[in-house]
Structure 1
Amino acid sequence: MRFSIYLNAQSPGPDHDLDVIEAVTEQALRADRSGFAGICLTEHHFTGYNTYGNPFTFGAYLAPQLRDAYVVLSVAVPALWHPLNFAEACNTLDLLTRGRCVIGVGTGGSPQEYKGLGRDPEQRGPMMQEVLDVAGEALAKTLEDPDLEYETTHSRGVLTRRVMPAAFTPGGPRFGRASLSDEGVLYAAERGWVLMTARDSAAEIGRKWSLYHKALQEAGHDAETVRFAREWSMVQKMVYVAESDEAARRDVAGPLDYLAEQSRRTFGGGAEGAGFKNSVVGVSPVDREAFVDRAMIVGGPDTVASAIAEYRAQGVEHMTLVFLYGQMDPALADASLDRFVRDVMPRFAGPSGNGGR
């Protein structure tokens, strides 16, 4: 079983932004030194949901500080990008990490982010695909190829030479797809991409995992593509490890209140108003019990380990875990991470004995 850490901390306001970024940087370095396989970064803008905003920039900042962990974008939102800027960013991150990166993509979750960047959230799927299509052609273009003329909903132009810099990884950066739908699962498998999913029961995740592995094997990819895709496909959970189940529930009450309020402000007053969010990430914190059940693993070390074991029994070999969220006190998040590394992670160590890697 492999573990990655997911960094998506919220800030109380501009005076705290640097403190929050320093806190998640410290978590990234501690996770790297503790045997976590990857540092997962996400892209959010304007909503207060993610302090560092641009995962490519933050990933480039972390890259030289990491000893072993990959930088994993989980996820970038291509629909919010110019396709050639996106292509450049992908190659730059791949080069700076010396190929130790996975660039996951998804449609994003908040209409406010689309509005802020002049995009129609109702078209997020088609816009994502057209950016990916153009970026893919641009990444493949050599100096000897003819000019690449392109047009998307929000951009048009001609690439006359090549995307710079070149990628470090032969054949270009490795990509992943975030999805909760079977359609997205098959999309990833057919392309030989990593699958990133979240916020569902172990049984449902297991069904999707079986679908993905079968389609991946039947797609005719080479053995290395299949190996890498399986190794880096992951399930995300928000985690809190306390000394007891009761203490864990008590400590996450405040962060859950914050997340629910953020959801109400962004998507509406009730579960119905969060429909856009639910359609993208499965369940809203407005529905607290469902959110805790499907999006989180909360409890003492034995409870957390037991919940993770349920996913492992369904064939999940990699989980990405969020330890700092909902303006949680960084000291509580650090203590939770410490307990996970000390009391939970060793129970899932693989044959290498390297912290679950």
Structure 2
Amino acid sequence: MHFSLFLGPGVRGPHEDRPAIDLMIEQAVAADAAGFTAVYVGEQHFNNYEPYADGLTMAAFLAGRLPNAYLGTSVVPLVLHHPLFLVERANLLDQLTGGRFILGMSGGRPREGKTWHKHDLTPEQRSRLFDQKLDVMLRAWAHRAGDQPLEFTTDDEYGVMEGRMMPASYRRPHPLFAIGTNTPAKIAEAGRKGQKVHLGPFDPAGAGRIAALYRDSMVEGGHPAELIEDNLRWLIHTKIILVGETDDEAWDVAERLFTGPMVMAPWIRRDPGQDGWSLRKIYRADPGPFAPAMGVPESQGAFLHRTAIVGSPETVAAELAGYRDAGLPHVHARFIFGTLDDPEVFRRSFRLFTDEVMPRLGVETIPGPAGDQVQIF
């Protein structure tokens, strides 16, 4: 299996920003040493989630500290960025990592759009803007000094680029990139185009359906087997992971941590009949139907099954093996969540994962670019 680390803690306010950032850096370095395939950062604004806010700047800081792992974004909300500026920053990170950078991009989060005057975009308009900006990026990556000036227009910006993009990417023809989405139609479209995809959290059955859809779409697009297999290796899916010596110990810790900020989503539909139940009892009960996407109301049990894996090393390994067998062997693991009052809780869970879970499943990494994948000028 492939394991990637997602640096996505929540904090209660500015007094926790620095401790959270320091803990993330510590864990990123440890993940690199433990054989993780990649370390991922996100992008958030004006809330208490991912307190570094600017994932690309955080990635630049980490670039010189991770000699083995890829660096990735999961995800940059493309609709908030100028496409040419994003190309420049992605190319720089590609250079700094020697081609071990992957740019995950999405259509953005509507709750942030009001700050950038995009709060009234419909989903269709948001999707159109994403496609326009991605097209500009692909054209910019293909542009060379001496070519005709690159003219571009989106619903957000327009202009003419003369000269060249700098720096050039390390990889040919551009850095790795992936479309961040949970929408089946968008996943199928990306598959037909041969593009990589990053997923959020899914239950095992839902994850299996998405993996099959993605593979079938790439086959439909006529892509070679080696590209299909490479894209499937990068098909990350996101999980909060908490490991204890025993199941009981892990769930006892989860009871404390899941009361912290940015953990229990506001759209959870609580069952009055489960009032007073422990999280473990809720997890073991029938979760009912899973929502078609994050943000749509679902039961607390469904939310826990979708987002979290909690238990002993044996239990966690068995649940992860289910995702591997469903066609998603690359786990985008988030170990820091909930209250930060006791950082040792996260250190201990992470050590148990690297020492006892990963050996049970087998660990593979993805090599950096080969010679024919590197720009030669």
TM-score under structure 1 length normalisation: 0.88
Task: State how far apart, in whole Å, the 1-side matches of 2:262 and 2:88 are.
Answer: 36
The answer (yes or no) to whether the contact 1:4–1:40 under 8 Å persists in 2 is: yes
Establish whether residue 116 from structure 1 lines up as the match of residue 128 from structure 2.
no
Distance in 1, matches of 2:208 and 2:110, equals: 28
| Number of aligned residue pairs | 342
Unpaired segments ≥5 residues, structure 2: 271-290, 368-377
Q: Indicate the residue corresponding to 1:39 in structure 2.
A: 39
Secondary structure, counterpart of 1:238 in structure 2:
strand
Residue-by-residue CA offset, 1:129-182 (whole Å, 9 max, x unaligned) = 222121221221112221122222222221112211100001111111122222
Report the more deviating stretch, 14-23 or 218-227.
218-227
Cα displacement (A) at 1:128:
1.8
The CA deviation at 1:280 is 5.6
Could you give the per-residue CA deviations for residues 18-51 of structure 1, whole angstroms, max 9, x where no partner exists? Answer: 2211110110000000011110111111121111
* Counterpart residue number, 1:135: 137
Give SS of 2:199's match. strand
- Higher mean displacement: 152-161 or 316-325: 152-161
* AA in 1 matched with 2:38: G
**1:113-134: CA deviation from partner (whole Å, max 9, x where unpaired):** 2122332353432222222121
Higher mean displacement: 223-232 or 161-170: 223-232
What is the aligned counterpart of 2:355 among 338, 342, 348?
A: 342
Q: In the TM superposition, what whole-angstrom CA distance separates every residue of 1:272-303 from its partner, at most 9, and x where no partner exists?
A: xxxxxx7763667x843222111110111111
1:197–1:283 distance in 2 versus 1, CA, 3 Å = farther
- For the residue of structure 1 that corresponds to 2:26, the secondary structure is helix
**Root-mean-square deviation over aligned CA pairs:** 2.4
In structure 1, the partner of 2:203 is 201
Unaligned runs of 5+ in 1: 272-277
Q: Which residue of 2 aligns with 1:274?
A: none
Quick check: 1:200–1:282 contact (8 Å CA) kept in 2? no
- 1:183-222 alignment runs, 5 A limit: 183-222=185-224
**Mapped partners of 2:318, 2:144: distance in 1:** 51
* Bigger share in helix: 1
- Please say if residues 150 and 157 of structure 1, whose CA atoms lie closer than 8 Å, have aligned partners that are also in contact: yes
In 2, distance between residues paired with 1:45 and 1:233? Answer: 26
Change (3 A) 1:35 1:351: closer
Give the counterpart letter for 2:344 in structure 1: A
Q: CA deviation at 1:224?
A: 4.6
Q: CA 1:231 to 1:263, structure 2 compared with 1: closer, same or farther past 3 Å?
A: closer
Q: Deviations over 1:237-273 (max 9, x none)?
A: 1110012222222212233223468744xx7x968xx
For the 8 Å contact 2:141–2:173, the answer to whether it is kept is: no
Alignment of 1:47-126 (within 5 A): 47-111=47-111, 113-120=112-119, 121-122=121-122, 123-126=125-128
* Cα contact 2:246–2:311 (8 A) shared by 1: yes
Q: What TM-score do the two structures reach when normalised by structure 2?
A: 0.84
Name the CA distance, whole Å, in 2 between partners of 1:312 and 1:270. 29
Q: Who is 2:27 aligned against?
A: 27
C-alpha contact 2:40 2:73 (8 A) present in aligned 1: yes
| Equivalent pair of 1:41/1:72 in contact (CA under 8 Å) | yes
Question: Does the 8 Å CA contact 1:108/1:280 hold for their aligned counterparts?
Answer: no
CA contact (8 A) 1:32 1:67 kept: yes
